[in-house]
Structure 1
Amino acid sequence: MQIFPSGHATHPQWRMAAALVLAQLRAQMALPSYAANPALGLLYITDHYAGDAAAILDHLQAELPGVPDWAGTVGVGIAANNAEYIDEPALAVMLCALPSDQYRVFSGVAPLAHDMGLPGAGAFVPHSALLHADGAMPDLAGLLAELAQRTTGGYLFGGLASGSGARPQFAVSGNGNVPGQGAASGVFEGGLSGVAFAAGVPMVSRVTQGCQPVGPVRTITACDEQVVLELDGEPALDVLLATLEVSLDDPQPALQRVRATLVGLLGADGGAAQGGCPRGTGSFGARHFGADVRVRHIVGLDPARHGIAVADAVEPGMRMAFCRRNAAAARVDLVRICSEIREELEPEEVTAEVAVALAPAPEAQAPHPARRIAGAVYVSCAGRGGPHFGGPSAEMQIVRHALGDVPLVGFFAGGEIAHQHLYGYTGVLTVFVAGGDSSDAR
């Protein structure tokens, strides 16, 4: 697998931005280390271009006739290997050189079938999937679980389209020549779309959290749908107020603290959280809840039952901790997942020359073959981004410093998807492995 060409640009006129991106792609495709004949294009645009989504896709297809398959969506911001474009007109493209029998583009009119890979259904067997979704869909959690069951690996990664207006998704295969798609343009609103990958497409994926616990991890011992009634046998509202050191006798400062507080949830069978986090320490990463923690808003208080309403269904036995967004914790956890990916992909023994080449450098450097990264997709929460990390494009600069100047595209989502779950305030980093057979999506 060769390095994936990628390009990104901002301009008030989408045609000018597209021209700049195309120039970058063509220049890279002429280099020997980059793929010259990629077949899958990943396209992400900011919501400034949402009204021109169909025209942008048509233009790119006409300019790149050798790229028959496209997928992507819109976000309030988009990510590239060294930049974040938030609340400005921009687009990013990465051209993936994958064998045509190792992936399938799917959408609402050409869904990922239940019987793919079964006798008589063709040779393609989906193992994992890059997913773009509409957050307004009913029972989205159930749809994610059902879609994950259609893959042998059970792993989804991606996010919810975001923006102030229309939120189109791109999904086209072979210029529309895919069963079920017919003459559809390849631009959709609502539903699910994306790319399914066979097990022959090696990748490594990690989830990074952006919050820090403000109290111990507790067990939900009583609840009613979305209302947590008891934590470790104590009234949940009383536990919240004691953790935040506030009282409803002084409601204004108490409500301000509650509004700034989130909850981290983990299923009863998660197994990763067997003990509490000390107050004000740790982060929701591998050390505590693990990547399976789901951060949710507190949406209301129930003084009559001393309960807390959260933005997710809860069950007795689930683990929960109160938390807050924390830039320092988010930075540490982002560095952690990048380090894990590097350790996964770099050779155990290297020469001095390779060690120097793999060392992070402040200036741009070409991806080194020893790192074996062909390209990467990063989906981050719309509430994160550079400003949350201390400056413009700071989040992507952390990733670049850790992984090197690798091709990367992505977007800032209304919710992040990993495993079979919808997350919040997280980042999902997935890299495609060149010249390897490891697949470690977790």
Structure 2
Amino acid sequence: MTAADDFVFASGISDDEQTAEAIAEVIEALRDRLGEGAVDFVAIFATPHHRGSMDLIAERVQAELSPRIALGATAGGVLGSGFELESRPGLTMLAGRMPGAELRSFCHHDFDWPTVKDDPAALREALLGIEAPPSDADEQTRAVLMFADPFTTPMVKLMPALNAALPGIPIIGGMASAAVEPGDNRLIYNDNVFDQGAVGLAISGPVQVDCIVSQGCRPIGDPGLITKAHKNLIQEIGRKPALAAVEAVASEADESERELLQHGVFVGRVINEYKDHFGRGDFLIRNIIGADRNSGFIAISDFVRVGQTVQFHVRDTHTAEEDLRLLLQTQLLHDPAAGVLMCTCNGRGQNMFDKPNAESTIVREALGEVPIAGFFAAGEIGPIGTDNFVHGFTAALAIFRPAPGDIQS
């Protein structure tokens, strides 16, 4: 028997409002596929209905599944096994066995943020236990999973620090979304439950983790060069006021594009400036959060600098569905997926697709009846190019399978 034969994932979901019953239902679904014995990893996501019982959930997971690592978060909605539970009780889990995998968990208690934020080697050692990236490809980190509380985690500073400490390593995850004020989210870290901070897991060894980030936007108009900027203000594009560039795109748009523009226009910032042509997937999408008609400046939800290429984008249901399907099609070039972790925006779901279970259905239509679990996040973490970012209105997926050519164990 090969290690690949033992590489197996399972998912379960329950809409029972009673936490004890929901736990039992989910764990039974996991055991039906996994059988008895310990598992390597469990991801746990629960709606606010179970917030007061997260200690019980963590305790039962340890007792029933004996995972090497368990991580989790509360969320406004959860998804699993082809179902998406929004605005109602929900508990979902993804569990997996990954023979030979090296797993290293971390939480905010593991490092002193003021000390490591400007020291990539110190941050890398705190997260991975190594000061320098390994030279042996078999030892390299395949991916990092991370879940964080948006009220207490400085993501604007943390993501650049992580990119510097973990160059080229994809980070997939999301921000807990079950709270409207600090202290109301919950994070599970093995048998601990926190109301702040971040938890995560680094995966290395004979595991393939493919990351998909579907931003669900399409470009409109032509790319332009930022010629004047300050922090998150785009002042000029092509030596003309940025707001004038928005108005020019609107004036040249066709009727269907104008209708989409009424629902919002986004700025896409090119990630790789060395490409000759830019298309969907080459841009990091950011919201326009303000504009000043007198100055012609626009403000976006990111920092920009002179010399960057930008293009305006629109988002609609058709584009979001098409984008996710196209990205999933690339997975057909690989061996069948064993499991999927999905973090999608709490502004997507039925709000965007106007039907239940839309994204879970798309994933399963593309990948088959693969175990899937995840949650609706208040910000999704995932890579564009070689760097990782916090996104909005995005679906971020980690797709697990044995490494190609996995040998006999």
Query: Does the pair score TM above 0.5?
Result: yes
Q: Report the identity percentage.
A: 27
1:207 aligns with 2:213: yes
Deviation at 1:125, TM superposition (A): 6.0
Q: Is the 8 A contact 1:301 1:309 kept in 2?
A: yes
1:82 is matched with which residue? 82
1:428 is matched with which residue? 396
1:285 is matched with which residue? none
Q: Is the 8 A contact 2:380 2:392 kept in 1?
A: yes
Alignment of 1:87-166 (within 5 A): 87-99=87-99, 102-111=102-111, 114-115=124-125, 116-117=129-130, 126-137=141-152, 139-151=154-166, 153-165=168-180, 166=184
1:176 is matched with which residue? none
**Alignment partners' CA distance in 1, 2:306 and 2:297:** 14
Deviation at 1:227, TM superposition (A): 1.2
TM value normalised by structure 1: 0.77
Alignment of 1:34-433 (within 5 A): 36-64=37-65, 66-99=66-99, 102-111=102-111, 114-115=124-125, 116-117=129-130, 126-137=141-152, 139-151=154-166, 153-165=168-180, 166-172=184-190, 186-245=192-251, 260-267=264-271, 269-272=272-275, 274=277, 288-290=279-281, 293-343=283-333, 345-346=334-335, 371=336, 373-419=337-383, 420-433=388-401
CA RMSD of aligned residues (A): 2.8
**Corresponding residue pairs, total:** 371
Q: Tell me the amino acid that sits aligned with residue 325 of structure 1.
A: R
Deviation at 1:5, TM superposition (A): 2.2
Q: Tell me the amino acid that sits aligned with residue 283 of structure 2.
A: V
**Alignment partners' CA distance in 2, 1:208 and 1:16:** 34
Change (3 A) 1:140 1:388: same
SS in 1 for 2:207: coil
Q: Tell me the amino acid that sits aligned with residue 237 of structure 2.
A: L
Change (3 A) 1:101 1:259: closer
Q: Is the 8 A contact 1:84 1:386 kept in 2?
A: no
Deviation at 1:308, TM superposition (A): 0.7
Q: Tell me the amino acid that sits aligned with residue 72 of structure 1.
A: G
The superposition leaves residues 119-166 of structure 1 with CA deviations (integer Å, 9 ceiling, x where unpaired) of 9x9x98644200112223464133123224433642211111112342
Change (3 A) 1:237 1:387: closer
**Alignment partners' CA distance in 2, 1:106 and 1:193:** 6
SS in 1 for 2:310: strand
**Alignment partners' CA distance in 2, 1:313 and 1:36:** 48
Q: Tell me the amino acid that sits aligned with residue 271 of structure 1.
A: Y
SS in 2 for 1:216: coil
**Alignment partners' CA distance in 2, 1:437 and 1:422:** 33
TM value normalised by structure 2: 0.82
Deviation at 1:90, TM superposition (A): 0.7
Q: Could you tell me which runs of 5 or more consecutive residues in structure 2 were left unpaired when the two chains were aligned.
A: 112-121, 253-257
Q: Is the 8 A contact 1:259 1:298 kept in 2?
A: no
Q: Is the 8 A contact 1:273 1:319 kept in 2?
A: no
Deviation at 1:235, TM superposition (A): 1.0
**Alignment partners' CA distance in 2, 1:101 and 1:43:** 20
Moved more, 293-302 or 412-421: 293-302
Q: Tell me the amino acid that sits aligned with residue 422 of structure 1.
A: V
SS in 1 for 2:98: coil
Deviation at 1:101, TM superposition (A): 5.9
Q: Is the 8 A contact 2:12 2:81 kept in 1?
A: no
Q: Is the 8 A contact 1:117 1:124 kept in 2?
A: no
**Alignment partners' CA distance in 1, 2:261 and 2:328:** 32
Q: Tell me the amino acid that sits aligned with residue 369 of structure 2.
A: D
Q: Could you tell me which runs of 5 or more consecutive residues in structure 1 were left unpaired when the two chains were aligned.
A: 173-184, 247-253, 276-287, 347-370
